[in-house]
Amino acid sequence: MAETIEIPVCGMDCAECAAHVERAIGGLPGVEAVTVLLAAEKAIVHADPARVTPEVLRAAVEAAGYQVPAAPTPQGRGEAGAAVARRALMLFGLIFGAVLFVVVVGEWFGLLETITARVPFWIGAGLVLLAGWPVFAGVIHAALHRQVTAHTLMSLGVLAALAVGEWATAAVVVFFMRVGDGVERFTAEQARRAVRRLDALAPQTARVEREGAEVELPIAAVRPGDVVVVRPGERIPVDGEVITGQATINQAAITGEPMPVEAGPGMNVFAATIAELGSLRVRATRVGEASTFGKIVRLVEQAEARRADVQRLADRFAGWLLPVVVTLAALTLLLRRDPLATAAVLVVACSCSFALATPVAVLAAIGGAARRGLLIKGGRYLEALARADVLLVDKTGTLTLGRPRITEVIALGERSEAEVLALAAAAERYSEHPLAEAVRVAAVERGLVIPAPQRFAALPGQGVRAEVNGVDVDVGNARLLPPGFSLPPVAESLADAGRTLFIVTIDGMPAAVLAAADGERPEVARALAEARQAGIREIVILTGDSAPAAAGLAERFGVGYRAELLPEDKIAIVREYQARGRRVVMVGDGINDAPALAQADVGVAMGVAGSDIALEAAHVALMRDDWTLLPEALRLAQRTMRVVRFNLGFTVVYNLVGLSLAAIGLLPPMLAAAAQSLPDLGILANSARLLRTREPANPPSQTPELQSRAA
């Protein structure tokens, strides 16, 4: 029977590295399946334990050119010295390439011809080979495994350029190869940071009752059935059921909802949520990786691995161009017996414009997007955005502001709404509950005078009690209502619409019902309409909130909704659409959205309001709380793909013409090497159009709160 074996793998910098490791392990006898997680730096292998051991796996990984550390480091990285060496080598390659790029550009205009002419060829060739060796080694490794990439074609061009004495042209090709590799390494490291920051949020210890005493144990030592003690302000370390105690629980890490819940005996609580007020005794049901939070971490890792990488357009062209070039060069040598013409064919086939066609357009688009507050983490996400047709949206903190506000005050007695609200704000003056802040803000916005309470006390599981101007004022949930008292129909209708209700009693008698809700972002309706114009065919709200609250919001925006969801439900919905061949964009802001953001073809995080975990897991970040940036990202992606297609089409036509001229002897090697630079300016100029940002015709109006904050 197959068993699952996990081994750490160091040295992977890009998707191709992960693919190499996967093929190396997958080819072993007894291996049924293997998944390599680039971000988590590990391989998950399903294999026959009698035939596949950790030692066999280690040998296969090392034979592929990567390392299996004896024990993972705290952050899952390799040795510090090796990491420093890799960074130093990459930095050297980039600086070297940049200097040579300036030299060659000067030579194009005849400014530095005398300087480059004085550099001995062996020095230039040696520097090219040294700076490009990491790339060349990868090409050799790929060739041994019968693989062809864009680097294969460009490396062939480098060798051909050196063969005809054009070391400067070879250096430019190496430069762009190294820049592309650097971008991939950066993207991979960002993914790793997302996983590491998730791990950091998980509680590492728990206070467990053992033989009548409280003992602090590592999470690995806690077992289902243990009783865990949670004190005010602590993270709950396990999934479990409350035995005794009352507490206000912030569950945003799991559900993403801003409204805290009141936990009491019999209620289920989740690991990594926070007991903000009160203490609890919890009987553990799921611990560590089996907990809901542990599942979130695994889902982020698995989504990163299972997400189909959009193959780079340059690799697609390389797949057919390389055999065409080699065949044409062989025919030229065979039929014309002309080594110079043969060299010219190899040189002209790998013009710098081929290397520039995709990355320059992508870098220009990413640079232009950054000016507008859009952080895009790679070219493949631009391509996926350009083809997206489904938009899935988290509700709280994404469509809404993520801050409760008082929407209605319903007086139940002789006192006016203003008088009751002022007394309630006074009672909540010293409370740290999020709804208390909403009450105080509502009173201030109405210009009410908030008196100071003479005394104050928290009522666990109910609310607060204070003495204000000689009367007792209680503010809290429905438990404060006297027996037999029922809420008026208007309050019941507000509850059905998804409002959070709490009661104000004065001297024990109900005085008012306060209704709270999360405010909507004012620019969302316009942004969703523009997203539809940009090609989005279906928009669905995903939320852990109640169905009534989601239904009202969905109806106002004219979209669909799925309510009362956990993180695993959201990622399942993303996969459901992807299984039907849809291209999914997921927009979220919280830790609970991270798995779905990673699984989606493009995950978009709200930057200012979003959690750091969401920002790391997502592929695009809106660095301002401005929803109009989303349709702008869709339009930019479509423009970028049009520019890339033009660049590649132009490059292909140019190469075909150059190959034909070189094969018949009309383009000698020296001229072929020089001709590589001719289309570059056109490619650069065409791509530079993406640097220009297009301001929206009607900028979204800001709320007074945002305007005052900006001021």
Instruction: Tell me: pLDDT of 494 over 80.
Output: no
End-to-end C-alpha distance for the chain, whole angstroms: 66
Per the structure block, which two tokens stand in for 12?
């992977």
DSSP string, 6-47: EEE-B---SHHHHHHHHHHHHTSTTEEEEEEETTTTEEEEEE
Q: Is residue 415 part of a domain?
A: yes
Q: Which phi and psi angles does 343 have, rounded to 5°? A: -60, -40
- Could you tell me if residue 599 is inside a domain? no
Residue from 226, 239, 394, 626 carrying the catalytic annotation: 394
CB 232 within 8 A of CB 277: yes
Please report the pLDDT score of residue 241 as a whole number: 92
Helix-helix angle 629-663:339-348, to 10 degrees: 170
What pLDDT was estimated at residue 23?
81
What was the pLDDT predicted at 710? 29
Identify the three-state secondary structure at position 609.
coil
465-504 as b/e: b if 16+ CB within 10 A? bbebeeeebbbbbeebeeeeeebeeebeebbeebbbbbbb
Distance CA 225, CA 573 (A): 32
pLDDT at 582: 93
DSSP 311: P
Q: How many angstroms separate the CA atoms of 164 and 57, rounded? A: 44
**Band of the pLDDT at 255, cuts 50, 70, 90?**
low
Task: Say if 264 falls within a structural domain.
Answer: yes
- pLDDT value, residue 699: 41
Q: How many other β-carbons are positioned within 10 Å of the β-carbon of residue 606?
A: 30
60 phi/psi in degrees, rounded to 5: -65, -40
* Lowest model confidence (mean pLDDT) among 8-17, 34-43, 100-109: 100-109
Judge whether residue 392 has pLDDT over 80. yes
Tell me the HSE value of 505 on the side-chain side, using a 13 A CA sphere.
18
The amino acid sitting at 696 is: P
Per-residue buried b or exposed e for 160-197, using 16+ beta carbons within 10 Å of the residue's own CB? bbbbbebbbbbbbbbbbbbbbbebbbebbebbbbbbbb
pLDDT higher for 210 or 353?
210
Predicted structure pTM score: 0.58
| Domain limit, last residue, from 286, 312, 331 | 286
pLDDT band (50, 70, 90) for residue 85: very low
Give SS3 for 246. strand
| In the block, residue with structure tokens 């009160």 | 278
pLDDT for 707 equals 32
The per-residue pLDDT for 273 is 84
Highest mean pLDDT among 60-74, 98-112, 345-359, 441-455: 441-455
Residue 624 has pLDDT above 80, yes or no: no
670 or 30, higher pLDDT: 30
- Evaluate whether residue 466 is within a structural domain: yes
Number of separate domains in the chain: 3
Structure confidence at residue 94 (pLDDT): 57
3-state secondary structure of 690: helix
pLDDT band at 261 (very low <50, low <70, confident <90, very high): confident
CATH number assigned to the domain comprising residue 39: 3.30.70.100
More confident residue, 530 or 186: 530
In what side-by-side order are the strands of the sheet with 602-606? 374-376, 620-622, 602-606, 584-588, 390-394, 538-542, 560-562
Name every residue whose Cβ is closer than 8 Å to that of residue 444 and which is 6 or more positions away in sequence.
425, 450
**221-252 confidence digits (pLDDT tens):** 899 999 999 988 888 999 999 999 888 887 76
Q: Report which secondary-structure segment, H or E, holds 477.
A: none
Residue 369 lies in a domain: no
User: Residue 414, SS3?
Assistant: coil
Judge contact between 376 and 365, C-beta under 8 A: yes
Cβ atoms of residues 128 and 170 within 8 Å = yes
Last residue of a domain, one of 520, 553, 587: 520
User: What is the percent of the chain with per-residue pLDDT over 70, rounded to a whole number?
Assistant: 72
451 — pLDDT class (breaks 50, 70, 90): confident
pLDDT of 106 higher than 70: no
Q: What is the mean pLDDT of residues 583-590?
A: 86
pLDDT of residue 65: 76
Model confidence at 528: pLDDT above 50: yes
Q: What average pLDDT does the segment 334-361 reach?
A: 72
Encoding tokens for residue 332?
């030229």
CATH label of the domain that carries residue 431: 3.40.1110.10
Neighbours of 463 (CB within 10 A): 25
Residue 447, in any domain of the structure: yes
Handedness of CA 126, 132, 134, 139 (dihedral sign): negative
pLDDT tops 80 at residue 468? yes
**pLDDT higher for 478 or 580?**
580
Find all residues with CB under 8 Å of 100, minimum gap 6, and list them.
127, 168, 171, 172, 175
Between 55-59, 407-411, 452-456, 524-528, the lowest mean confidence (pLDDT) is in 407-411
CB count within 10 Å of CB 660 equals 14
Mean pLDDT value across residues 477-483: 77
pLDDT of 697 over the 70 cut = no
**289-299: average pLDDT:** 73
Choose among 365, 405, 431: nearest CA to 692: 365
CATH number at residue 249: 2.70.150.10
What's the CA gap between 644 and 426, in Å, rounded? 62
**116 confidence band (pLDDT: 50, 70, 90):** low
With cut-offs at 50, 70 and 90, classify the pLDDT of residue 74.
very low
- Residue 668, classified by CB atoms within 10 Å of its CB into exposed (0-12), middle (13-18) or buried (19+), is middle
CA–CA distance, 226 with 246 (Å, rounded to integer): 19
Q: Give the end of a domain, one of 286, 304, 321.
A: 286
* Segment 542-568 mean pLDDT: 83
Residue 369, pLDDT above cutoff 60: yes
Q: Note the pLDDT of residue 78.
A: 38
| DSSP single-letter state for residue 235 | B
Within-domain flag for 325? no
Please confirm, yes or no, whether 199 is among the known catalytic residues.
no
CB 578 within 8 A of CB 597: no
Going by pLDDT thresholds of 50, 70 and 90, the confidence category of residue 524 is confident
**Better-scored residue on pLDDT, 188 or 647:** 647
Residue 470 above 50 pLDDT? yes
Does 435 map to a domain? Answer: yes
Q: Is the pLDDT of residue 157 over 90?
A: no
> For all residues of the chain together, what is the average pLDDT?
76
Residue 71, pLDDT > 60, answer no
Tell me the mean pLDDT in the region 637-651: 86
In 3-state terms the chain splits into helix, strand, coil percentages (rounded to 5) of 50, 20, 30
Q: Which range of residues forms the domain containing residue 504?
A: 401-520
φ, ψ (nearest 5 deg) of residue 501: -105, 140
